[in-house]
Structure 1
Amino acid sequence: MSAFSHSRGDHRDLIRDLVRSGWIYTPGRKGNHGKLRSPQGRLVVIANSASDHRALKNTVSIIRRIQRIEGNDQ
């Protein structure tokens, strides 16, 4: 495994933390992509097991941007 790769566990940890802070997670039909909805309704589609090593970092970046817009930085 590359030093830059992330496991599915990293995505699960992120999802669990977001759900605890008010986000809603809906798993994809075939398990490929899930949907996270922010407390104010913004939607983020995430890959559960992305082949791109930057996928988790990019997802975190999008979520932080939404949190800044919604005014609830964490």
Structure 2
Amino acid sequence: MMGLFQELVAIQREIYLAFADRIGDFAKTGNWSLLVAYLPMGILFGAVHALTPGHSKAVFATYGNDRERA
């Protein structure tokens, strides 16, 4: 299971770096069409980020496992 999380974190890092470069392009040119073209990347980044560890998922998973054992 940890391998999956590590893979998701690596994907998140790649998307973040690519998105940061594209936002830099927008900042340099001020071309709004670039920003609109890059918005799907931001959505993808958010989706991958939501799957990574944190956001209380670990707490809920642990709580659920403890209740099943009781």
**Higher relative contact order structure (alpha carbons within 8 Å, sequence separation ≥ 6):** 2
Structure possessing the higher radius of gyration over alpha carbons: 2
Structure with more strand by fraction: 1
Which TM-score applies when normalising by structure 1? 0.32
